[in-house]
Structure 1
Amino acid sequence: MEGISCNNLTGHVVKMDLSNAYYSISYEEWELWDEVAYRRSLLRGKINPSLLSLKHLNYLDLSWNDFELPQFIGQLRSLRYLNLSAFSSYGGVIPESIGNLSSCLKTLDLSNNYFDGIRIPEFFGQLKSLQFLDMSYSSFEITSNLANLSDLIYLDLGGNFWSIKTSKNLNWFSQLSFLKYLNLQSLDLSRAGDSWLLAANMLPSLLELHLSFCQIEHIPVSLPKINITSLLILDMSQNWIVSSIPSWLFNLTSLRKLDLSGNSFGGSIAWELGSLKNLEELDLSSNGFEGQVPRLIGNSSKLKILNLANNKIVGGLPELLGGCLGCTNDKLESVDLSLNRLNCKFPASLGMLQNLQYLNLESNTVGGTIPESIGNLSSLKTLNLRYNHMNGSVPESLGQLSQLLQLDLSENSWAGSLLESHFINLTRLESFAVSTNQPMSIIFNATWVAPFMLNTIDIRKCSVDPSFLVWLQSQTELSIVTLSSTNILGPISEEWFFKFPQIEYLDLSYNQIPGKLPLLLKCPNLNHIDLSHNQFEGPFPFYSSNVSILNLESNLLSGPIPSNLDQLMPNLRELYLSENKLNGTIPASMCNMTNLAILTLRRNQLSGEFPQAWSLWSNILVVDVGYNNLSGDIPSSMGVPSSLAILKLNNNNFGGELPSLIFENCTRLKSVDLGSNRFTGSLPSKISSELFILRLRSNFFSGHIPHELCLLSMLHVLDLGDNNFSGTIPKCLKEMYSLVESFSNVSYYDSYFEQITLMSKGTELTYNKTIFFVNIIDLSSNNLEGEIPEEVSSLAGLGTLNLSRNHLSGQIPSKIGNLRWLETLDLSHNHLSGPIPQSFSTLTSLSHLNLSYNNLAGRIPSSTQLTTLVDSSIYEANPLLCGVPLATKCSGDSTPAALDGKDDKDEDDNEKLVFYGSIVFGFIIGFWGVCGALLIKKSWRYAYFQFFDKIKDQVALRIALTVARWHRRRSLLV
């Protein structure tokens, strides 16, 4: 019977293995995991007491089932192996009778259970014969009674996410003198100090120590004595350690694997690491290491895996790999140097690493060309050169890498062509990516039979011809296809789309593909479609019901949006239809698409009212319907989805008052653009504290500007221009910390960058990805009065300040020069008076200024920056202003004595006296320097006059010849 084993001599049942078959599935099969099938495969119910009749049973495996754990389990006195891992989905208790197995039980596996954070039972201390104990991922709270298990060799407590509550130290671990394997992964050691290391150092037999995700903050740099010199594996990854590499690590000369990744180790990488001659795996990734890596790291003849990714390492690859390039290492299999600062050329000597299987140099500044020797890497499976500065043509020797599975050449400066010969022997190639900022073509014959069958192809900013598109149809196993910015000019037949039955991801964006899209595209696995920025026309197409992302932006689609879109594509999460010619209304059924997160319909010809059932959108993040002909009031249900982050209704005909629920319930709002509509009423006082952009320009809002706006510490763009706001400018503006310190936010979402138009530098500018670096306050064209508060001068990060066309009075704040990043300042069409502050001279970033139509007086300050603004209209209609660039001179400019006093007059007189005196002195020196010498020296005087006689004769001769030539030409003409 399967799972039951008997003794060959006595016939007694000695082994019972009832573990669930799903437990043994491979990693690749997890993608096909069927939860329903797994549940059906579980063994459930109570275990029959007849099990006790098996007196000689020594092996019992009930793992990955759903039994009720019986109390009589401890009566199986011959049991040496007991596996109850993933035993119950519903928690439970551990029978104390297990303690009766103290003389026989050697292996106990309780991992992957749900024991609700119980303490380790006291009877565990009775299991004196236990050698193997696995309680990982079972929510236990550790207790020191485990110290009684003196024969323990293997102890796994990892993945429990509980902390030490009975003691702040782990000294009792030192009593487990035979322990060879210790896993404390995810155990909170933040309060244990150095006790975990001191205890581990007392275990001379220890071979493996796993301490990842343990919240370790401190690690001793040195230890007086090292007892764990037999240690083979040390994993301290993903902690909070801020330190240099501790010196005691260099004494662990038996180490085969060292993992310090995901910490904050810094400084230079210690050259002493080269003394670890037995090291096979070294992972120092995601730290702060700087400088170059010592050559000695590459001198280990056993090193197989080297991971230094995501640091600040500089230098070249020869220095980095050290002795590896001298072929002292013939076992190196994996090198990951991505996300560093390598500034070198791709070395030809890298081709000597015959066993290299994985090479990742992504996101560096590696330059030069790929050497021909790349073809010598006969074992290479992955080559990633993404985001570097490599150039030139790709060598055909790349086609000799017969084991290559993944090739990524994207985001470099390649030139030339990629031909069939570049891929001739890549029989195992599954994934290929390339992009460049130089002219590059990919040329395949339409009938070429490739030696590989791709799963992924990603080509951007390269040219492909029609024959390539025909050839691509032979790759019938493609699941990801990206041909973006590839200069596809002609139409694509409807049949072409049906040639990829396995396709999941299709991106043909940024081409010039004309024609109609297939109205019905049935690809059962297709979930991401990006056909944006082309010339597709016709009605809205229907696609697979599994599509979750559909991007048809910037095409020529026309007609209405289907009224039953919720039924055609019920799984849509992101829908991009902006910049087309769609008309009609927004169908009410779209509110039934409960998975929808992003909806953009910007710049179409849609009309009518917006659907009312906003409350059904439980996952909505972005709504952009700007630049249409939509009208009506905003439904109050708009404020129900608390997930809403970006709301853009600008440039429509919406009217009425804003529902207060929008700002009260939508606490995650980051951007609101309601500009160019017909909204009325006042602003609500409760607004999301996460707001980044608030644009209400060109409406009919009224009332005072609420002081609550000052509490928006993340606000970078405040545009209330062209409304009917009254009252004064709030003095609390200094509390808008994002404008005081000038920091930029990150993108809201990886897949969406909003577009917004703002008045800046005297014109309308459209921002997209750069909006996160824009800082604007625009209160222009309102009915604001009173003075400009001095607190405005605190907004040091401000780039644009527009207060024009109001009724502001008083003087310009004297400390306005503190706005050191200010590029645009418009205070025109107000009633401001007094002088222009001298601090204007410190506005070194100012490029657009308008102070016209005020009552300003006095001299315009002079500075290097202001002298570049030579347009006099800047100061127009300020009759009391004077100075450059105005034609009106200040009184001091015409009569210096009247304004500048006697000292200035004396200073000017002295300067004139020095000037005239220098002229007279120069004339005297020049005259007598020449004439005096001629009078004194007779030979010079003769030579001088002979020279002038010769010049006189040559001039006379030249004149005579010219006159004669003129007479001759005239006679010929006659």
Structure 2
Amino acid sequence: MDLKLKLRPSFFVFSFLVFTFLLNFVSASNPKCISTEREALLSFKQSLTDLSGRLSSWSGPDCCSWTGVLCDARTSQVVKIDLRNPNQIVNSDEYKKGCLRGKIHPSLTRLKFLSYLDLSSNDFNGLEIPEFIGHIVSLKYLNLSSSSFSGEIPAVLGNLTKLESLDLYAESFSDSGTFALRSSNLAWLSGLSSSLTHINMGYVNLSGVGEAWLESFSRVSKLKELHLFNCQIKNLPLSLSSSANLKLLEVLDLSENSLNSPIPNWLFGLTSLRKLFLRWDFLQGSIPSGFKNLKLLETLDLSNNLGLQGEIPSVLGDLPQLKYLDLSANELNGQINGFLDAFSRNKGNSLVFLDLSSNKLAGTLPESLGALRKLQILDLSSNSFTGSVPSSIGNMASLKKLDLSYNAMNGAIGEGLGKFEELVDLNLMANTWEGVLQKSHFLNLRSLKTFRLTTEPNRALVLNLPSSWIPPFRLDSIQIENCKIGPEFPMWLQVQTKLNSVTLRNTGIEDAIPESWFARISSDVTYLVLANNRIKGKLPQNLSFPKLNTIDLSSNSFQGSFPLWSTNATELRLYENNFSGPLPRNIDVLMPRMEKLYLFSNSFTGAIPSSLCEISGLQILSLRKNRFSGSFPNCWHRSFMSWGIDVSENNLSGQIPESLGALRSLSVLLLNQNALEGKIPDTLQNCSGLTNIDLGGNKLTGKLPPWLRNLFSLYMLRLQGNSFTGPIPDDLCSVENLHILDLSGNKFSGPIPKCISNLTAIARSKSFEVFQNLVFIVTRAREYQDLVYSINLSGNNMNGEIPGGILGLTNLRILNLSRNSIAGRIPEKISELGRLETLDLSRNKISGAIPQSLAAISSLQRLNLSYNKLEGSIPKLLKFQDQSIYIGNALLCGKPLPKKCPKDINSRL
């Protein structure tokens, strides 16, 4: 039978329809660009600068296939342009390269069906938002965030009546600096009131809007998300008008403004709220109980307001949907029992994040803490909690971070901590723990990466772990201080070879650390502190630590030569060990970025290498109490950042290098207890910021340089034990900040300057803390602390009388004028030195009676008046009953001397 005869017309109709459908389907799947829109896009491209080449696909006839362009599948018209910077790590080279720059061409207005425009995270270098964007009336989504726009937000954006999402977040990451985007009038929002659901205007300056800002946003009736982060809003209205409508609002972020008000009650009428951010807003008062109305609330952030106070209301524990709660950095006080008890009653609580850190919360941690079974982050640090860790804490099986640091917890650390299989970060620093941690405390911590445990030095906290035990975790960071884990360097530490931060301070380790451990951690470690142990042995040589920033091996028993470690470290502390031998000549090559070098109290020998001058960033050099010899390098013109040099107590000879005067930033110069000779170089007057000079115990000669009067910041001048001559110049009295003056053991002559009362810092200064910080940096604070507010002119050839002006130095603590030829009387009003602790006038020619007012100085602890020409009776109220204080005064009488005064003899007769 002929097949053609059997085919009916309906078959051809059906086939045609199938063919047409398939043709339409293929066309729909591959829309072709409309030529006029293609031309519009090319004009837009030509106005941009594209360093990354991510618009390189914008060529050829089909614009619908270009990167970042989407066309409607049916009409082929451009509906979406997404040119967001794909590299979102700000300030990275990739981010900067990925930024589009230039201008936005008005050809975009020819895209009549464009509903989505994203130009975010680019760099338009302060360009104002073009007004023509307000004429793209088809837009439903507009994102111009973090693209460095500036100026006034154009009011014409109110014409975008279909707009549903507007993101103008204005934080700028431009190389040219920050740019200010502002809105002085929010009336344009009314045009968006029927469509807009999401708006982000973070970092947009709204200070010009005044108090009307909230009313303007509240009239956008469909608004679900409102982000006004850091908008320089200065007030938070305590009430809303009856016409305001934010009933649909789900997310509200008003963080980092200056609201300076209590939490307003109108917030509790926003019953659709899921997320509320009010951090860094300077909110005041207590947390209202009205939060109980926000039954859908999932996130509440009231952190860093500093002014929120009172107890945490228990109603927060009753919120059934609450997952994230941050109340940190406030003034909240009291206990947290009631707050946590509410969570225990709320059996379905879903809290996963709780941060109560940096408040004034107190009391013990209740067992109800264990009711937070879904909690992943718990931060209770920097409060005043006491007691032990409750055993119920082991119920929080999902916990990933636990921070109890900086409290007053003084009990044992329970074994419940050992149940956290998902725990990554455990911080138990800065408490007063005691007791023993055993294997059971760590047995299940399979995910642990960060472990911090410190207590006070006098507490008995011990890690009693088997020496061969290998733990289930491999740490990234460890910090243990004042906790005994030695004397061996245990196996559980030896297997931690992926560490990037290590602090093992005062842990009782005495054995040598295997060289292989240093080698295994060398590639990753950035922070290495093994201080205040008794670790023996030698350090491995010739290792490379490419990431290491800080090395502190101080106060141990390390031996051997200086480690030839190649590192970019900025701080090296090897002090108080037994290192010996010379410093490497190429220390500048090994440690080119060194800023602070502490090598004091070792046995290093040889010359101080001049290559130290080649370390351009060197700020502090502390080589005190070694055996360095030769001259101090005269090469400091090559370094301009140094401000602390301590090479005291060595065997240095020669002269003080004149090149030190090139260190304009020099603040502390300690060269004492060497064999330096010659004069103080005049170049030091260029170091106008000098605060502390100690050249004592050398062989220096000459007169005091007159330029000392120009060192207005000079706090301490110690030149004792040299051979300086001549009078003490009056110019020294003009050093207004001088607190410590020690010129003892020289050959100064002449009278004490009468202008000594001009040392006004000794008279009324309260700035010892500044001095202490400066000196501590070069590790000399304890040595000089007892000398604060002191004058020591002993052991010279001074003559004349004690000047009356000295009584004006009311903060003077130490006055030593002994071993001179000072004559005259002790000032009658000596009691005006009401804070005097030490007075030594011995071995002079002082005459007359001991003034009765001396007994009125209650702070006086040490007194020596021996070997003078004092006469008369010793005042009965003086508390000093040691004969040696008064001997050598032939005409003195009365207790404690055996010589009785005439009136005492007459009274007996």
Assess same fold via TM > 0.5.
yes
Alignment match, 1:763: none
What whole-Å deviation, never above 9, does each CA across 1:501-543 have from its counterpart, x for those lacking one?
4222222222222222211223433333222222222222211
Which position in structure 1 is the counterpart of 2:769?
A: 745
SS in 2 for 1:611: coil
Task: Assess if the C-alpha contact under 8 Å between 1:426 and 1:452 holds in 2.
Answer: yes
Aligned mate of 2:697, from 662, 676, 691: 676
Q: Is the 8 A contact 1:679 1:699 kept in 2?
A: yes
- Who is 1:719 aligned against? 742
Whole-Å separation in 2 of the counterparts to 1:393 and 1:111: 51
Q: Output aligned runs, 1:430-469, within 5 Å.
A: 430-436=449-455, 437-445=458-466, 448-465=469-486, 469=490
The answer on whether the counterparts of 2:652 and 2:676 sit within 8 Å (CA) in structure 1 is yes
Match of 1:269 in 2: 286
Match of 1:804 in 2: 818
CA distance in structure 2 between the aligned counterparts of 1:855 and 1:286, rounded to whole angstroms:
68
Which residue, out of 335, 338, 361, partners 1:316?
Answer: 335
> For residues 206-263 of structure 1, what are the alpha-carbon distances to aligned partners after superposition, in whole Å with 9 as ceiling and x for unaligned?
76464648495xx68966969587576676666778x774666776665666666557
Residue in 1 aligned with 2:720? Answer: 697
Aligned counterpart for 1:14 among listed residues 70, 75, 79 = 79
1:767 aligned counterpart, secondary structure: helix
Q: Which residue of 2 aligns with 1:344?
A: 363
Alignment partner of 1:65 is 2:89: no
Asked whether 1:581 is paired with 2:603, we answer yes
Q: Which amino acid aligns with 2:80?
A: K
In structure 2, the partner of 1:367 is: 386
Measured in 1, the distance between the counterparts of 2:721 and 2:257 equals 52
Change in 2 beyond 3 A, CA 1:620/1:124: farther
Match of 1:612 in 2: 634
Report 1:856-895 matches (<5 A): 856-863=870-877, 866-867=878-879, 869-895=880-906
**Deviation per residue, 1:392-445 (Å, 9 max, x gap):** 443222111122111122333434432322112212111112234433432444
Q: Residue 622 of structure 2 contacts residue 778 of structure 2 at CA under 8 Å; is this kept in 1?
A: no
TM normalised by structure 2 equals 0.79
Name the CA shift for 1:34/1:849 in 2 (closer, same or farther; >3 Å): same
Q: Does 1:400 align with 2:419?
A: yes
Tell me what 1:958 maps to: none
Report the equivalent of 1:564: 586
Distance change in 2, residues 1:651/1:512 (3 Å): same
Q: Which moved more, 1:739-748 or 1:625-634?
A: 739-748
Deviation at 1:661, TM superposition (A): 4.0
CA distance in 2, matches of 1:427, 1:839: 73
1:736 aligned onto 2:760: yes
User: Is 1:539 the equivalent of 2:556?
Assistant: no
The whole-number CA distance in structure 2 between the counterparts of 1:705 and 1:861 is 33
Q: Distance in 2 between matches of 1:574 and 1:873?
A: 47
Q: 2 CA distance for matches of 1:452 and 1:738?
A: 57
1:123-151 C-alpha deviation (Å, 9 max, x unpaired): 86786657725161355556666545234
Structure 1 contact 177–204 (Cα < 8 Å) conserved: no
**Which secondary structure does the structure 1 equivalent of 2:374 belong to?**
coil
Shift of the 789–38 alpha-carbon distance from structure 1 to 2, 3 Å rule, reads same
Q: Which residue of 1 aligns with 2:189?
A: 150
Question: What letter is aligned with 2:549?
Answer: N
- Report what 1:425 is aligned to: 444
Q: 1:487 aligns with which of 504, 508, 530?
A: 508
SS at the partner of 1:433? strand
1:877, distance to aligned residue in structure 2 (A)? 3.3
Alpha-carbon deviations, 1:534-567, whole Å to 9, x = none? 2222222211333333222122222111111112
Query: Secondary structure of the residue that 1:516 maps to in structure 2?
Result: coil
Q: Residues 440 and 623 (structure 1 numbering): CA distance in 2 closer, same or farther, change over 3 Å?
A: same
Which residue does the alignment assign to 1:654? 676
Shifted more, 733-742 versus 564-573: the winner is 733-742
Q: Does 1:5 align with 2:75?
A: no
| Paired residue type of 1:452 | F
Q: Deviations over 1:460-502 (max 9, x none)?
A: 2233357763333333322122222222222233223223242
Equivalent residue number for residue 16 of structure 2 = none
Q: 1:710 to 1:819 in 2, by over 3 A?
A: same
Q: Is contact 2:585–2:609 with CA below 8 Å preserved after alignment?
A: yes
Per-residue deviation, residues 334-382 of structure 1 (Å, max 9, x unmatched): 4444445544233222222223333333344433222221211223222
Shift of 1:742: 3.2
1:645 paired to 2:667: yes
Percent of aligned pairs with the same residue?
36
- Does the C-alpha gap of structure 1 residues 636 and 855 become closer, same or farther in structure 2, counting only changes over 3 Å? same
Could you tell me whether the CA contact under 8 Å between 1:327 and 1:353 is conserved in 2?
no
Q: What code does the residue aligned with 2:69 have?
A: I
Q: Distance in 2 between matches of 1:830 and 1:257?
A: 80
Q: Are residues 1:592 and 2:614 paired?
A: yes
Q: Considering only aligned residues, what root-mean-square deviation do their CA atoms show, in Å?
A: 4.2
Question: What displacement does 1:745 show?
Answer: 1.7
Read off the aligned partner of 2:885 and give its amino acid letter. Answer: I
Alpha-carbon separation, structure 2, partners of 1:382 and 1:78: 49
Contact 1:721–1:779 (Cα < 8 Å) also in 2: yes
How far the C-alpha of 1:635 sits from its partner, in A, is 2.5
* Structure with bigger RCO (C-alpha 8 Å, 6+ apart): 2
Deviates more, 1:777-786 or 1:405-414: 777-786
Structure 1 pair 673–483 and aligned structure 2 pair: CA distance change class (3 A): same
| CA pair 778-22 structure 1, distance change in 2 beyond 3 A | same
The separation in 2 between residues aligned to 1:341 and 1:250, in whole angstroms, is 26
Change (3 A) 1:66 1:719: farther
* Distance in structure 1 (CA, Å) of the matches to 2:121 and 2:429: 44
Q: Determine if contact 2:509/2:533 at 8 Å carries over to the other structure.
A: yes
Displacement of 1:649 after TM fit? 1.4
Q: Is the contact between residue 99 and residue 123 of structure 1 (CA under 8 Å) also seen in structure 2?
A: no
Task: State the partner residue of 1:157.
Answer: none
Going from structure 1 to structure 2, the CA distance change for 1:411 and 1:20 (only over 3 Å counts) comes to closer
Write the distance in 1 (CA, Å) between the matches of 2:206 and 2:906.
Answer: 82
Please tell me whether residue 330 in structure 1 is matched to residue 349 in structure 2.
yes
Report the Cα distance in structure 2 between the residues aligned to 1:881 and 1:451, rounded to whole angstroms: 80
Query: Would the alpha carbon gap of residues 434 and 813 (structure 1) be closer, same or farther in structure 2, given more than 3 Å must change?
Result: same
For 1:799 and 1:263, the matched residues in 2 are separated by: 47
Which blocks of at least 5 consecutive residues in structure 2 are unaligned?
Answer: 1-64, 173-177
Match of 2:783 among 748, 767, 770: 767
Q: Counterpart of 1:47?
A: none
Aligned residue pair count: 822
Q: 1:870 to 1:222 in 2, by over 3 A?
A: farther
Judged with a 3 Å threshold, the aligned counterparts in structure 2 of structure 1 residues 614 and 148 are, in CA distance, closer, same or farther, namely same
Label 1:86 to 1:382 Cα distance change in 2 as closer, same or farther (>3 A).
closer
CA shift, 1:811, in A, is 4.3
Q: 2:863 aligns to what? A: 849
- Structure 1 gaps of 5+ residues are 43-63, 155-175, 758-765, 899-974
Letter in 1 for 2:168: D
Shift of residue 584, structure 1, vs aligned partner: 0.9
Secondary structure of 1:633's partner?
coil
For the structure 1 residues 722 and 431, does the alpha-carbon distance in structure 2 shift closer, same or farther, using more than 3 Å as the test? same
CA contact (8 A) 1:323 1:329 kept: no
